[in-house]
Amino acid sequence: AQSVAQPEDQVNVAEGNPLTVKCTYSVSGNPYLFWYVQYPNRGLQFLLKYITGDNLVKGSYGFEAEFNKSQTSFHLKKPSALVSDSALYFCAVREKGRRALTFGSGTRLQVQP
């Protein structure tokens, strides 16, 4: 079975500081990993994905994520947080060959001015 864990319900960071939102996964095969963001009363927006290759993946709005196979992690990062980054962030995994996405519980990011 595939699963995702987001250990932090909320992350608080000051504007201009770097941010990290943590994600660990469990699959029995090769993972495809995704990050999505959700703003209030909106659907999920795709940020980035890891399929294969370079462990550092760059995505939309200045976000990036680092795939670490030995630690089964896929943490989301941004060098300098903006107040407008405040939202709910979801990590998701799909094992190669499977169809359904499994989402983590979500992490609320609060960026203070």
As a whole number of angstroms, the distance between CA 69 and CA 86 comes to: 28
Task: Please identify, among the stretches 9-17, 34-42, 60-68, 69-77, the one whose residues bind another protein according to the rule CB under 8 A.
Answer: 34-42
Task: Please identify, among the stretches 9-17, 42-50, 67-75, 79-87, the one whose residues bind another protein according to the rule CB under 8 A.
Answer: 42-50
- The first and second tokens of residue 89, run together, are 């962030």
Nearest approach, Cβ of 20 to another protein (angstroms)? 21
Nearest approach, Cβ of 53 to another protein (angstroms)? 11
Query: CB under 8 Å to 83, separation ≥6 — which residues?
Result: 15, 111, 112, 113
The verdict on 14 binding another protein (CB under 8 A) reads: no
Q: Residues in the site for another protein, rule: CB under 8 A?
A: 32, 34, 36, 41-46, 49, 51, 90, 94-106
